[in-house]
Chain A
């Protein structure tokens, strides 16, 4: 299947600094990428939908100024956690939607990155 790569897989930073996480689709062009946050023993919470060349669409309750998302090309989306605080420590997962394959609604399959564990000290 298609491959989505995230980098870095683990990052530790000091409170108040900014951290950038990259998400790349390696063998397909992804017009849409999604950023999720996974809390311990909880589900994946959708943070935002990232569309190439346009502003991201944030879910309710997600601070757009804190979680900056850029989707500059068809194969790369970045999530920058600005002025990180310990409560931002979490597992961040990106996913990319492969082009529709003729299914109803043209809903292409989602492929997930390995995730990035952020620890803010």
Chain B
């Protein structure tokens, strides 16, 4: 079955630290990959997406993710986090028009 794994349940970082959240997927064939963010009390928002082309994808708010096909990974990165990045981050995948399958999410806490 298709699945998405996020390895970190809770990450705590100091402001200005660099961030990398892991995401691995198990899909055969073409895969579409997404990172969503859920700020406290708000709905899910799309950070970035990968469909094809350049495997390094840049999203909003300084986030980027790299699709590494050989590793079945789509890790999310940010060079310097801010307190306002505190949120829950979800990796998701789909194949063609299939519904999104989400990872379990990673809670990021940024402390001053």
Could you list which residues of chain A lie within 8 angstroms of chain B, going by C-beta atoms?
1, 4, 34, 36, 41-44, 46, 49, 93, 95, 103-107, 109-110, 112-115
Contact = CB atoms under 8 A, between A and B. Distances in A.
A34 B49 CA distance: 19
Interface of B: 4, 9, 30, 32, 34, 36, 42-46, 49, 51-52, 90, 94, 96-97, 99-105
Contacts of B9: 41
Nearest to A60: B1
A19 to B, nearest CB: 20
Nearest to B101: A46
A105 B102 contact: no
B104 A104 contact: no
Nearest to B3: A43
**8 interchain residue pairs of minimum CB distance:** A112-B44, A43-B104, A105-B96, A114-B43, A44-B102, A43-B102, A112-B43, A103-B51
